[in-house]
Amino acid sequence: MADHEPVLALEAVVKEYGDVMRTRALDRVDLVLGRGELTALIGPSGSGKSTLLHIVGLLDRPTSGRVILAGKDTTAMDDRERTAMRAHALGFVFQFHHLLPAFTALENVMLPAWGDRGTTTPELRAAAEDILRAVGLADRKDYRASNLSGGQQQRVAIARALVNRPALVLADEPTGNLDTASSDEVFALMRKFNRELGTTVLVVTHDPRIAHGCDRVVELLDGRVVSDRPSKP
């Protein structure tokens, strides 16, 4: 259940590309996500979903408007501050898991915190082992990522996104490369952590079943929010 303190607030966010011929990818988008919400972001190709995700993920900057994440206005932050914010407040799950194939499942889960701190610690290892246990892969922690199935690799990616206990997880078509059974398993895990940890999740999906399983569905069209509704009437 969301509380009154938004985890994310987009205020009149505009994103334009080009110098002479300007293309407006996002057109004054307002969006608020509360703590513990699981929200689906839908819309046709070219509607602005990826642009919005890049801006929320602090991988790109808006042309105008404000992005407030975990109570902090990120708009005026320099690159160092944005990188630190990304490491501590955000987790990412992609359609293609982007694991390092020669690294073990445990090493892949530790990577975000490892990169942020420059070293591993017993506490980090314990946290990574705990989250792998929670996604049902304790017995695969020493397997190289290349030796795991697609569904297992995506479970490692979810564990990696959650190891720092971020306020917000961004998931870009996280089940788009999986069969139906693995897709259901991965979404069930995201829902589990959303409920148990109160993690806010924004998931881009083309799968109506995934959208229906979320609390809320936000639809983009031509860079604008055209619908924002509960997933179930």
CATH of residue 182's domain is 3.40.50.300
Let me know if residue 1 belongs to a domain: no
Contacting residues for 174 by C-beta, under 8 A, at least 6 apart: 93, 94, 95, 154, 157, 158, 186, 187, 190, 203, 205
Q: How confident is the model at residue 118 (pLDDT cuts 50, 70, 90)?
A: low
What is the per-residue pLDDT across 57-99, written as a single tens digit (0 to 9) for each?
999 999 999 999 999 999 889 999 998 888 889 988 876 667 8
CB 142 within 8 A of CB 106: yes
Cα atoms found within 13 Å of the Cα of residue 189, Cβ hemisphere only: 28
- Note the pLDDT of residue 162: 86
**Among 170, 109, 111, residue whose Cα is nearest residue 137:** 109
Let me know if residue 29 belongs to a domain: no
What is the per-residue pLDDT across 188-199, written as a single tens digit (0 to 9) for each?
888 888 888 889
Let me know if residue 12 belongs to a domain: no
Query: How do beta strands 64-69 and 6-17 pair?
Result: antiparallel
Let me know if residue 99 belongs to a domain: yes
When divided into structural domains, the chain yields a total of: 1
Let me know if residue 171 belongs to a domain: yes
Q: What is the mean pLDDT of residues 154-164?
A: 87
Let me know if residue 179 belongs to a domain: yes
Let me know if residue 7 belongs to a domain: no
* Residue range(s) defining the domain that contains residue 115: 37-58+76-230
What DSSP line would sit under 126-147, residue for residue?
HHHHHHHHHTT-GGGTTSBGGG
Let me know if residue 10 belongs to a domain: no
- Note the pLDDT of residue 1: 41
